[in-house]
Chain A
């Protein structure tokens, strides 16, 4: 059984427990808990990162820029400015005298050299503490260079990763509405919350194209500043990764009256439902017919191939620990589609509604955890004798060290896991880890095999 910190007892739940369901969440990580979460800066950086023709400069000492240089699989069909790392690299004297001059000079030289369409300036921990007026510097450079220069208030300590999402959305909000919506058709959408990992946005865009839906902007996968500027002209906002983008969608609704729907592109059911929901929104019979035909075509191709994986994977046990809870819903369903059971599921940033929905979705005995840590996660994996753990780079060594399969479903991955094609990749990813013969050699499996022989 897991040795759970007293402060965290109410953040772990086992479905079927006698006490009424109430999971604490959306709170600051307990000091010393070795949370898997990052910080406000991480939340902002991760959301804005894929905007490929903008300059992203990290204002602070070097670490924050080093640790986020070209680590995501967010692809661009054109410019690749987002894959470079820029920092003011503040030194001791800057801390004493303030970093505004350095930020101003750095911004000017980089804008001159790279001619970006906009610049995002990420304020890190010490920027506020040393009293830099980032807002003023941005305003000045914006006037001088004639492009939007947007401060992102992402000081690491000012909340959680979710506050970073919000800071990123606030920066985006300043861009939306500054371009002309001329020529946008009535059946038009913005794709919110897909980050074009391994080209996923392109796949999704293609589905919408086949349906006859115009995509005005992708926020932020394969993102372009000029597209985001005219995003207010779209008729509908389609929000994936709702944890990061709901704030933006709500603001756009308030400001421009654009309605939004929540979708997920992971798994067969959720993918199909997302497309149908969009088609239904436009109340266009022809579009619905096209959508049905497309989904049928995709499924006819996909299902026979999935069936083979399902035969091998049926009865296997999975654990999930991801950033946002919304992705976890889809993963539980996708795994079920492959005949697998989710025995543990958790997220860094889920809210009360998310966890309630997860509880409804999961089988009896499933462990649900908010803001977990390596010691808890390893104990869950051991207790539930998991076959595959689905998470990110920080979760990977926990699984591997224990001789357990792993599937990377985080931003660093290089495999497209969204859409119909992505479902097949996901099945293959899970299959190629679970079915590997290497586990037979690990102490964990060798031990249990011997017990069976006895």
Chain B
């Protein structure tokens, strides 16, 4: 069949093109972050299509309205510069949406023609007679550099950088609070993080927070900007926190919001892996104990206890099962840590991202494995398929976003849909990945998926396993 590549002569050809990408572009991550600010509207400086495509991509995952404005470049704009469109766009968005903040991300086009965003926004703010302007923040997200995850993390940092004000913490924030930068996780994960912090009596600024804006209730009247999100007051007060927690082992050292707050305002930064599975969650809960001065509430120790008990109940179904794990780097590291601690063998951990810290992070969370997992960063789905065939890896199941569906189907093994994006199932925004509770759900899901395979592929049709 012409759609299948013919076997190549060299064992691993260096493909120049990207074939079935395992990543999206940077502005998408930035737009998602802007949706996690209270009263904010995401705005892309570039062509109309970027906003529309990213809206569709995000809508298909969250199944929620996701308005992204754009300056809508034309040919003339590209030649003469986008200032007029930017100003008109900001005016129109302001008059239509009345946002408290407009979060502007650039695109490949505006980065390539070298738009002076700083200067143009300065001019815009300085124009006469517009006292009630929304706040404008801007993040540079050239789509030819990095992935949606880089755009996401850069936007988190840019917003914090541009809004942070030393010593301006309102009274509500004066008490021993922390900043929590969770990275790209589900709406349910964000709700969970807020719940945990509240249970520790630890006031926390969670950013971004699209737990409500991208998983909200049914409405009678359309809300132009959905309720929820990190408040501007909280974002201004980030330098007054007693510490920042950032989740993700592969975050780039100098490029995060937490590292900025540490360097500029001496807010200690604590980096922990995404708390997926018992080991990574233990580190997270230990950090919360230290920062709050409270012991882990019994609710969570009981969750942990039940989870260990479940691991024991199910360990034989999982031991030695071979998993292919694909997705955003930190999600893959977390899931690998979880799977490895249950007895699953991660045979290949792959990501379209290329932080440089992926292999090291996987090694860190799989030290007890007798065979180290193979790790591939910056790869696409066809390369992964070729790698599997070349090394005869034969996974029993795949864990990843729904973009892995085609690959799993070709392999004839189940795909357990986790992470982002999930475009072929409902409820991607409501999957809980984090904490003991999240691990419990993941564990049951993985075991039951494998039991189902065992049951369905068996001619006897056991009804008791």
Q: Which residues of A contact B (CB under 8 A)?
A: 3, 5, 7, 28-42, 53, 57, 60-71, 79-81, 83-92, 94-95, 102, 105-106, 109-110, 113-116, 124-126, 129-130, 156-160, 374-375, 378-379, 381-382, 393-394, 396-398, 400-403, 442-444, 447
A156–B222 CB distance below 8 A: no
Distance A53 CA – B1 CA, assembled complex (angstroms): 10
Asked if B81 lies at the interface with its beta carbon under 8 angstroms from chain A, I say no
**Contact flags (1/0) for B22-66 with A, using CB distance below 8 Å?**
011101100000000000000100111111111111011001111
B25–A66 CB distance below 8 A: yes
Distance A88 CA – B18 CA, assembled complex (angstroms): 6
Distance A114 CA – B3 CA, assembled complex (angstroms): 6
Asked if B19 lies at the interface with its beta carbon under 8 angstroms from chain A, I say yes
B50-101 contacts to A (CB < 8 Å): 50-57, 59-60, 63-75, 77-78, 85-86, 88-93, 95-97
Q: Which of A65, A105, A375 contacts B21 (CB 8 A)?
A: A65
A401–B65 CB distance below 8 A: yes
**Contact flags (1/0) for B381-409 with A, using CB distance below 8 Å?**
01000000000000000000001001000
Chain B residues with CB below 8 A from A159, complex form? 74-75
* Known pairs A92-B144, A116-B2, A378-B222; A32 contacts B96 (CB<8 A): yes
Q: Which of A28, A39, A69, A92 contacts B20 (CB 8 A)?
A: A69
Distance A397 CA – B16 CA, assembled complex (angstroms): 38
Which of A61, A79, A109, A444 has its CB near the most chain B CB atoms (within 10 A)?
A: A61
Of all chain B residues, the one with the shortest Cβ separation from A438 is B218
Of all chain A residues, the one with the shortest Cβ separation from B113 is A129
Of all chain A residues, the one with the shortest Cβ separation from B94 is A32
Distance A34 CA – B50 CA, assembled complex (angstroms): 11
Chain A residues with CB below 8 A from B74, complex form? 28, 157-159
B67–A79 CB distance below 8 A: no
Q: Which of A33, A114, A125, A398 contacts B92 (CB 8 A)?
A: A33
Given contacts A35-B52, A42-B52, 18 further A-B contacts (CB under 8 A): A5-B95, A29-B48, A29-B72, A30-B92, A32-B43, A32-B71, A34-B69, A39-B52, A62-B18, A85-B20, A87-B21, A106-B17, A129-B78, A156-B73, A157-B74, A393-B60, A394-B55, A396-B63
Chain A residues with CB below 8 A from B218, complex form? 401-403, 442-444
Smallest CB separation, B336 vs chain A (Å): 24
Binds A, one of B104-112, B235-243, B256-264, B365-373: B104-112
A397–B64 CB distance below 8 A: yes
10 residue pairs of the A-B complex, CB under 8 angstroms, read A28-B72, A31-B86, A32-B88, A34-B51, A42-B52, A69-B21, A86-B17, A95-B112, A393-B59, A397-B66
Distance A444 CA – B218 CA, assembled complex (angstroms): 8
Of all chain B residues, the one with the shortest Cβ separation from A105 is B16
Distance A77 CA – B359 CA, assembled complex (angstroms): 42
Distance A88 CA – B17 CA, assembled complex (angstroms): 5
Distance A28 CA – B25 CA, assembled complex (angstroms): 25
* Known pairs A38-B48, A109-B16; A79 contacts B2 (CB<8 A): yes
Smallest CB separation, B53 vs chain A (Å): 4
B48–A37 CB distance below 8 A: yes
Distance A80 CA – B1 CA, assembled complex (angstroms): 9
Of all chain A residues, the one with the shortest Cβ separation from B57 is A67
Smallest CB separation, B235 vs chain A (Å): 23
A156–B96 CB distance below 8 A: no
Distance A293 CA – B77 CA, assembled complex (angstroms): 57
Chain B residues with CB below 8 A from A92, complex form? 142, 144-145
A110–B2 CB distance below 8 A: no
Pair count A-B, CB < 8 A = 260
Which of A64, A113, A374 has its CB near the most chain B CB atoms (within 10 A)?
A: A113
Smallest CB separation, A46 vs chain B (Å): 11
A95–B224 CB distance below 8 A: no
B17–A87 CB distance below 8 A: yes
Distance A95 CA – B5 CA, assembled complex (angstroms): 29
Distance A87 CA – B380 CA, assembled complex (angstroms): 11
Distance A345 CA – B171 CA, assembled complex (angstroms): 51
Distance A1 CA – B219 CA, assembled complex (angstroms): 17
**Contact flags (1/0) for B307-349 with A, using CB distance below 8 Å?**
0000000000000000000000000000000000000000000
Distance A29 CA – B59 CA, assembled complex (angstroms): 21
Chain A residues with CB below 8 A from B71, complex form? 31-32
Of all chain B residues, the one with the shortest Cβ separation from A35 is B48
A126–B112 CB distance below 8 A: yes
Distance A84 CA – B5 CA, assembled complex (angstroms): 11
B19–A63 CB distance below 8 A: no
Distance A375 CA – B224 CA, assembled complex (angstroms): 7
B88–A114 CB distance below 8 A: no
Asked if B132 lies at the interface with its beta carbon under 8 angstroms from chain A, I say no
Chain A residues with CB below 8 A from B12, complex form? none
Q: Which of A84, A91, A95, A125 contacts B3 (CB 8 A)?
A: A84
Q: Which of A66, A80, A109, A126 contacts B108 (CB 8 A)?
A: A126
B49–A41 CB distance below 8 A: yes
Chain A residues with CB below 8 A from B95, complex form? 5
B112-137 contacts to A (CB < 8 Å): 112-113
Q: Which of B28, B47, B97 contacts A125 (CB 8 A)?
A: B47
A31–B25 CB distance below 8 A: no
Smallest CB separation, B464 vs chain A (Å): 36
Smallest CB separation, B219 vs chain A (Å): 6
B415-429 contacts to A (CB < 8 Å): none
Asked if B460 lies at the interface with its beta carbon under 8 angstroms from chain A, I say no
B59–A110 CB distance below 8 A: no
Chain B residues with CB below 8 A from A374, complex form? 65, 67, 222
Distance A393 CA – B424 CA, assembled complex (angstroms): 13
B112–A130 CB distance below 8 A: yes
B219–A443 CB distance below 8 A: yes
Which of B19, B25, B113, B145 has its CB near the most chain A CB atoms (within 10 A)?
A: B19
Asked if B221 lies at the interface with its beta carbon under 8 angstroms from chain A, I say yes
Distance A72 CA – B57 CA, assembled complex (angstroms): 13
